[in-house]
Structure 1
Amino acid sequence: MPTIQNFIFISFMLFSYFGFSQTVEISGMVNSFVEVENIHVLNKAEQAFTITNAQGEFKIKAKLNDTIQFSSLVHQSKYVVVDKNIMMFKAMRVMLEEQVNELDEVVVGKVLTGNLFSDINNVDGKAPINFYDVGIPGYTGRKKTQSERRLSQAGDFKPKMLPGMLLGGASFDPLINAITGRTKMLKKRVEHEECEALMRSVKVRLASDFFRSNPLDEAYRMEFFYFCADDPNFVKRCKNQTDFNILLFLRSKYRDYMQNRSEGSD
């Protein structure tokens, strides 16, 4: 009897693994307090892209642990990792928050706000001391994103860490996260967010100049930049590069993009 139970258990685990590793079509619904039509839905892992209809409905292909991004001009971008429940029901529902663009505050004269450091900068007198003045080391670099913090907490397992874990001197979390695939998933998410941020930075800086000499309908410009970001060499060609080199890359992708659109319309 134990042998039969073990066989059933192993069969179930194999069925679940191979079932969830397959790419399926997921039906989804986007909810929001503002407009839900024409929201971009992107799954870079499957090279899949679509937009929502007037009811916020969409369909997109995905597999377990894929990250699906939702973005629009009036919503805050959101990332959803495809879990086992989504794979099982082949459905998902996403709530998006409105993107609020606050205007800069206009202050006339010297107004005290109640914030100590703000008020010190707003009155006559000497500037407050900082950690350099008193010889205390401090961090002034870029703040980590939420995904980067989660990746740091998950740990990156190395074989040399195993003796310390077995002797009780180190946590088993890095090993567990490596086995379950959580660390790999978080690394992919960090890379995806870095690529997304770079793509938006390139768009803001260069879109106006680029489309002046490379005409493209406004409705397809965001799709074009996602097309560029899907290139495996996108980060290498655009990160820490001069605007001239980036424009050369965009120009090469523009030709490919227009050719794809031409073939798709035939």
Structure 2
Amino acid sequence: MQKIKLFIYFMLLLNIQIAVSQSVEINGKVVSNVSVENIHVINKTAQVFTTTNKAGEFTITAKLNDTIMFSSIQHIQKTITISNNTILIRKLNVKLEEQINKLDEVVVGKVLTGDLLSDVENVEGDPPINFFDVGIPGYKGKPATQSERRLSEAGEFKPKMLLGLLTGGIPLNPILNGVSGRTKMLKNRVKLEADDELLHNIKVRLSESFFSVYELDESKHIDFFYFCQEDENFNNRCKGKTDIEIFEFLREKLIAYKANLKIVND
């Protein structure tokens, strides 16, 4: 009987040892006073990356002593080391603190008290008038850039415009701009500005998380991102994509970037 107990005890220890030495799927949840969606959850040891859903939930693979980092613009970065208990129960709950950027208080003009009657009397000048006040329809979308306005003004030549030759009503601007190459130049400029904006957003959101997993000399970070932007698939792989999809694109480009550096150094 004693031997049976020892055998069971030994097998239990063996199973536990096997469990903690292998990667397992861990279900976790992030709790915070602000939004918990799209928080980057990074296994720095295994170089695995995922993000949280709207409820702050995530799933990631890890093994004992792996380092898991939680990062987002709204939160203070937090790092956790996977313990035996986490491996056994396969659950991980994490509380993140809000990232608060305090600015010095600046008082401009009148101080409002919250009392509407009092505040209205204290406000100087006439309130601004917009197109809604006078019943005029107005554009509420994103303001066009200077290049987008110029492209719109230049117009775009279309074959059906040639029908205007028969009626004498052919528009000249689209034809002249098309022949001179100005329309093509403006299109390229608009695309470049859109790519620049997309690249800036990627750097703000993912730079810290990405380089915490994949090492690259800090002096080469900017050059690497421009290397990514020059890829003909940059827009298709990154525009409107999830952080996980963009993270994978950056990982692929980093492999190519480091290969190019090695060739140059050799």
How high is the TM-score relative to the length of structure 1? 0.52
Give 3-state SS (helix, strand or coil) of 2:136's partner. coil
- Seen in structure 2, the aligned counterparts of structure 1 residues 104 and 178 have a Cα distance that, compared at 3 Å, is farther
- Seen in structure 2, the aligned counterparts of structure 1 residues 206 and 108 have a Cα distance that, compared at 3 Å, is same
Offset, 1:232: 1.1
Offset, 1:203: 0.8
Determine the C-alpha separation between the residues in 1 that align with 2:109 and 2:156. 52
Offset, 1:256: 0.9
Offset, 1:171: 2.5
2:141 is aligned to: 141
2:162 is aligned to: 162
The one-letter code of the counterpart of 1:215 is E
**Unpaired runs of 5+ in structure 2?**
1-102, 113-118
The farther-off stretch of 164-173 and 239-248 is: 164-173
1:223 is aligned to: 223
2:176 is aligned to: 176
Determine the C-alpha separation between the residues in 2 that align with 1:252 and 1:168. 55
Q: Please list, as runs of the form range in 1=range in 2, the aligned pairs for 1:13-32 lying within 5 A after superposition.
A: none
Determine the C-alpha separation between the residues in 2 that align with 1:108 and 1:259. 55
The one-letter code of the counterpart of 1:161 is M
Offset, 1:138: 1.2
1:29 is aligned to: none
The one-letter code of the counterpart of 1:214 is Y
- Seen in structure 2, the aligned counterparts of structure 1 residues 165 and 191 have a Cα distance that, compared at 3 Å, is farther
The one-letter code of the counterpart of 1:249 is F
Offset, 1:104: 9.3
2:190 is aligned to: 190
Determine the C-alpha separation between the residues in 1 that align with 2:205 and 2:165. 48
Equivalent residues of 2:224, 2:257 under 8 A apart = yes
Determine the C-alpha separation between the residues in 2 that align with 1:170 and 1:107. 58
The one-letter code of the counterpart of 2:254 is Y
The 4+ residue runs of structure 1 with deviation greater than 6 A are none
Equivalent residues of 2:161, 2:171 under 8 A apart = no
Offset, 1:132: 4.5
Q: Matched residue pairs, number?
A: 156
1:152 maps to 2:166 = no
- Seen in structure 2, the aligned counterparts of structure 1 residues 141 and 105 have a Cα distance that, compared at 3 Å, is farther
Determine the C-alpha separation between the residues in 1 that align with 2:105 and 2:123. 18
The one-letter code of the counterpart of 2:235 is V
How high is the TM-score relative to the length of structure 2? 0.52
Determine the C-alpha separation between the residues in 2 that align with 1:197 and 1:250. 17
1:258 is aligned to: 258
Percent identity for Structure 1 against Structure 2: 57
Offset, 1:201: 1.3
2:206 is aligned to: 206
Determine the C-alpha separation between the residues in 1 that align with 2:216 and 2:222. 10
Give 3-state SS (helix, strand or coil) of 1:137's partner. coil
Determine the C-alpha separation between the residues in 2 that align with 1:226 and 1:242. 20
The one-letter code of the counterpart of 2:184 is K
Offset, 1:107: 2.0
1:247 is aligned to: 247
- Seen in structure 2, the aligned counterparts of structure 1 residues 166 and 143 have a Cα distance that, compared at 3 Å, is farther
Offset, 1:212: 0.8
Q: Which has the higher contact order (CA 8 A, sep 6+)?
A: 2
Equivalent residues of 1:165, 1:171 under 8 A apart = no
Give the alignment's Cα RMSD to 1 decimal. 3.1
Offset, 1:169: 2.4
1:40 is aligned to: none
Q: 1:113-149: CA deviations, max 9, x gaps?
A: xxxxxx98x949xx87754466532101111111111
**Unpaired runs of 5+ in structure 1?**
1-102, 113-118
